[in-house]
Amino acid sequence: ASGARVLHLFCDDAENAFTINFPTPPPDDTGMPHILEHMVLAGSEKFPVKEPFFEMVKMSMATFINAMTGYDTTYYPVCSNVEQDLFNLADVYFDAVFHPLLTPATFAREAHHLAPADPADPAGALRLDGIVYSEMKGVFSDPEAILARESVRKLLPDTCYGRESGGDPAAIPSLTHAALQAFHATHYHPSNACLVLYGNIPTLRFLDFLAPRLASYTRVPRTPLPARQPRWSAPRLHHETYPTAPGEPVAEKTFLLMSWLAGDNRDPVEAAALRLVSLLLLGHDAAPLHRALIDAHLGADLVMSGSSEAGSEASFHVGLEGAEPERLDAFRDLVLDTLRAAADTPFTDEQIQTAFQQAAYETLEIAPMFPLHTVFRVVAAWMADLDPLLYLRNASHFQALRAAQAREPRLFNRLIRERLLENPHRLDIVLAPDAALEARREAATTRELAARRAALDEAGLRAIAAAAAELDRANGTPNPPEAVARLPQLKPTDIPPEPRQIDTTPYALAGGATLLVNAMPTNSIVYLILQFDLTGLPEHLWSCLPRYA
């Protein structure tokens, strides 16, 4: 047996999903999980097409086709309302993840390669290039991305979450092709995979698709679960900077953040309780912590605030943007004082019921890409060796929390005190602008490239130039028609002859208005949309309309 784990969430939804998911805890900061995600979708044994992803987009009715790298997991999902289309996409993705070509040229293109800074001077200065390398340079320049990344890395420094799965631009050039191939061989085996399927396609159709493709594999040991973070005995402070353009104003451009390692995400009721604490403190403009931060004018607005998770670790964050570094003490005092007041003051029944209603809505709402969000909850549980359906039972978890709160009326006050005020595992972050940071980064890269160039003779430099030119030529060359023809094609007969119909019942209301009731799967949530005829409303009043929304 292959050891693959397969779960079909069979339901009456025509938007079907096929997903393959792997645990990919990063061993370092070189971005192996992210670069491998790019590379496996760049040609496989059965479909040796450069970037089949983009070719399939042209010939598919997919509602979703992509891949994503998380902190410790890589996801390969496709969705379609057309059954044969889904299996066409699944065929390409299955071969991509288990039988990728992973050529040196693909590694050079996606990860990193050297090239002449001036193509007309092949023996001159060098530059560093690569799709993921360039992408992550942008990510490492975005302040909110930096804040989110540092809050996880520095809060969980002794785990895989303390490493950069996307790739640190300073570390990416040290990654080798051989190391990436070894990472694929270790992690991308069916024994490591969680295949989560969703929708109304019969389960046997999926099993008939998978059986011959998994038959040649034998079970191997799975990737071990990520280590847990040892708890701290005292809070820590971390200063970080982000680049701004020279001459750009830096006043009130600082971010301040307080983050707690606040719970165990493997306990769904505990995670639900932390979510309720987040909603009680921050869930709306009048929530006590939200209101206190806005009224204090220490920053322009809240940022990255509320409960979150990384693997099995649950965290809580309170952040401000548009602040100044010297306001850290005032920010910290305000947050802690507000939490003390919240811990000492019982929440009203109305506040608690409002929070539960918000949580219920979040749980029940069928939001865009509902199949994917459902799959991701399954994968999160399965990757932690939990019941894969655990996080799909959120309604029952909140019911259990309601019962616990009924037994202990001040439950949430106690949690604020225990999980936040008395919790020493807290990280305070000051993220400040630095107009010279980008120049220092570029200078360091220039020095490194100059040292590498100095170690090469003219023949070596010309070989680099020739390889870069060949890479550019290959990237600009279309796929051969015979290679594209090997991709599965959607035929007109595969497409349902009639579009899906929505049952609509009209009702005539008093006053001449018409009510249209549409029968849709909404998980018992009723949506009311009111449309008004604004004929005759003067144009100068149009800008006032949002006030009534």
Position 309 pLDDT exceeds 80 = yes
* pLDDT tens-digit series, residues 20-65: 999 999 999 999 999 999 999 999 999 999 888 889 988 999 999 9
Residue 43 within a domain:
yes
451 domain-assigned:
no
Work out how many domains the chain is built from and give that number.
Answer: 3
Same domain, 266 and 388: yes
Query: Do both 195 and 52 map to the same domain?
Result: yes
CA distances (Å), 313 to each of 154, 218, 390, in order?
Answer: 13, 32, 16
Residue 549 reports pLDDT greater than 80: no
Return the pLDDT at 521: 84
316 neighbors 262 (Cβ within 8 angstroms): yes
Residue 132 pLDDT: 98
To the nearest 10 degrees (0 to 180), the angle between helices 349-364 and 268-282 is 120
CATH of the domain at 312: 3.30.830.10
- Count how many Cα atoms sit within 13 Å of the Cα of residue 380 in the half-sphere of its side chain: 21
Range of the domain at 531: 504-548
Whether residue 277 is found in the same domain as residue 401 = yes
In a domain, 229, yes or no: no
State whether 205 and 348 are in the same domain.
Answer: no
pLDDT at 218: 96
In terms of pLDDT, which residue wins out, 293 or 542? 293
Q: Does 480 lie in the same domain as 362?
A: no
Q: What is the mean pLDDT of the chain?
A: 95
Model pLDDT, residue 462: 94
CB 15 within 8 A of CB 61: no
Q: pLDDT tens, 187-219? A: 999 999 999 999 999 999 999 999 999 999 999
In the predicted structure, residue 93 carries a pLDDT above the cut 80: yes
DSSP E strands, 107-203: 113-116, 126-129, 194-199
> 262 and 397 share a domain?
yes
Same domain, 216 and 314: no
Could you tell me if 323 and 414 lie in one domain?
A: yes
Is 449:122 a contact under the CB 8 Å cutoff? Answer: no
Side-chain-side CA neighbours of 97 within 13 Å: the count stands at 29
Helix (H, G, I), strand (E, B), or coil: what is residue 7? strand
Co-location of 164 and 287 in the same domain: no
The answer to whether residues 193 and 276 belong to one domain is no
CA-wise closest residue to 268 among 401, 366, 357, 376: 401
Q: In this predicted model, what pLDDT tens digit does every residue of 491-540 receive, in sequence order?
A: 999 998 888 888 999 999 988 889 999 988 888 888 899 888 888 899 99
70 with 193, same domain: the answer is yes
Report residue 277 CA to chain centroid gap. Answer: 23
Q: Is residue 218 part of a domain?
A: yes
pLDDT at residue 398, rounded to an integer? 96
Q: Assign 447 a pLDDT band (cuts: 50, 70, 90).
A: very high
User: What are the pLDDT digits (tens) for 249-270?
Assistant: 999 999 999 999 999 999 999 9
Burial per residue of 211-243, b for 16 or more beta-carbon CB atoms within 10 angstroms, e otherwise: eebbeebeeeeebeebeebeeeeeeeebebbbb
Which range, of 392-401, 445-454, 530-539, averages the lowest pLDDT?
530-539
Q: Could you tell me which residues are beta bridge partners of residue 69?
A: 74
User: Is 495 within a domain?
Assistant: no
Distances from the Cα of 293 to the Cαs of 137, 298, 337, 338, 428, in angstroms? Answer: 32, 7, 11, 9, 16
What radius of gyration do the chain's Cα atoms show? Answer: 27
Q: By the 8 A CB rule, do 180 and 36 touch?
A: yes
Reported as type and span, the H/E element at residue 486 is none
Note the pLDDT tens digit of each residue in 144-194.
Answer: 999 999 999 999 999 999 999 999 999 999 999 999 999 999 999 999 999
pLDDT at 406 exceeding the cut of 90: yes
Domain-located, residue 166: yes
Within-domain flag for 443: no
462: helix, strand or coil? helix
